[in-house]
């Protein structure tokens, strides 16, 4: 496992959807998806899952930032 990603379900859809953001910790991904839900009104469910993708972003001090290479 290399990273964690946030996934959402939106109204009238049964599939889980994610974007390209990958986080080093499950906590960062959880905070990110909670923040996302405050902006997207159609989210009906969320989850955080492990990903084999490399880390791309961090969540620090209440802000999203790109992960240094």
pLDDT single digits (tens) 7-57:
999 988 889 999 999 999 999 999 999 999 989 888 999 999 999 999 999
- Provide the pLDDT confidence category of residue 69 given band limits of 50, 70 and 90: low
pLDDT at 33: 95
Q: Is the pLDDT of residue 67 over 90?
A: no
Q: What's the pLDDT at 13?
A: 82
Q: CA 51, CA 40: separation in Å to the nearest integer?
A: 23
Q: Are 56 and 67 in contact (CB under 8 A)?
A: yes
Find the angle CA(33)-CA(34)-CA(40) to the nearest 5 degrees. 80
Contact 49, 22 (CB under 8 A): no
Domain spans in the chain, listed from the N-terminal domain onward: 3-55
Characterize the bridge pairing of strands 63-66 and 43-51. unpaired
Q: Report if pTM > 0.85.
A: yes
């Amino acid at each position: 496992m290399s990273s964690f990603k946030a996934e959402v379900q939106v109204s009238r859809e049964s599939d889980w959807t994610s974007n390209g953001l990958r986080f080093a910790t499950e906590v960062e991904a959880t905070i990110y998806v909670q923040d996302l839900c405050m902006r997207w009104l159609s989210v009906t469910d969320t989850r955080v899952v492990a990903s084999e993708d490399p880390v791309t972003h961090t969540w620090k001090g209440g802000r999203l930032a790109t992960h240094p290479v």
